[in-house]
Structure 1
Amino acid sequence: MFDLNNFIPYRLNQAAQQTSEALARKYRNQYGLTVPEWRVLAHLGKYDKLSVRDLEKAIGLDRVAASRAGTSLCSKGWVQKIVNEQDRRLVEFSLTDVGREHYGKVVVLATSTEELLLKTLNKSDQKKLLELLCKVEETARKIT
C-alpha cells in the first residue's frame, strides 16, 4: 500500500517547506526580509551585479517577483537599481555598502540555521546529502 510518509518527493517537499518557513521567520523578525528578498540579496552578494533576468533564472522566481524583491531592497537602501541607458527596460541590481554590511549579517544567520538543521549529521553525511540532493534536482529538471 502506498505510504505518503515514505514517498521521497513528499519528504523532500516537507523538509524544504519546514526549513523555508523557519528561515523566513528569522529573516523577517531580525531583518524585515522576505524569502525572495533574501534570495536576491544572497545572489547579489555572490555576483555583485545581476539583471532581473539573471535573478529570475538563478533563484527560481518569475520576473515580476524578482523585480519586486530587488525594488524592495532598493527602498531599504541595501540595493541600487542601474537602468541601461540604451534600453531603459533592462535593469540591473547591485548591493550598496549598507547592503553588503547587512548581507554579511544575514549570511551568519543563514549558516547558523543550517548548522542547527544539520547538527545530527556528521560532515561526511552532510556532504553526501548535498551530493544526493544535487543529483535529485538535476534529474527533476529533466522530467517533463
Structure 2
Amino acid sequence: MSLETIISEAIKTAMREKDRVALDSLRAVKSQILLLQTEARGAEVSEEQEIAILQRMIKQRKDSYEQFTAQGRTDLAEVEEAQSKVIEKFLPKQLSAEELESEIKKIISETGAESLKDLGKVMGVASKALSGKSDGKSISEMVKKLLS
C-alpha cells in the first residue's frame, strides 16, 4: 500500500475522531505527496521520495518548535511538536544511537575512512544507506565522532 493511501485512510480516521492536529498534519503530508506527483508528471513516486518528504516536514516542524520556544510562544511550539509526532508515525522505525553507531562503523570500514578528511566519502554512503532510518544531523554527528 502506498503512503498516499495510508495517509488518506489516516485522514478519514482523524476526521471521525475530530483530531484537529492529526488532520492538519496529514493534510499537509498529502498535499506534499500530491505536489510531488504533479511535478513527476504522472510518474510513480518512489518510497525514498516519500520518506524524504516526511523527513523534510518533520525537520521544518522541529525548527519551528525551536524558534517558537525561543520566542516564548509555547502555544505554537506545542502545535508544531504534536504535528511532528503525527508525521513521525509514518516513517520507518528509527535507529537507536547504538544501532546507528554500529551501522556507521560498518560503513567506515567498508569505505576505508581513517580521519575527518574522509568525512564526505562516509557521509555520502551513510546518507544513502540510512535514509529514512535516521536523520542527517544524527548521521553527521556520529560520523564526526567516530572519525575524530
TM-score bin (small chain): under 0.3
When the two structures are superposed, what TM-score results if normalisation uses the length of structure 2?
0.27
With normalisation by structure 1, the TM-score equals 0.28
Higher helix share: 2
**Is the strand fraction higher in 1 or 2?**
1
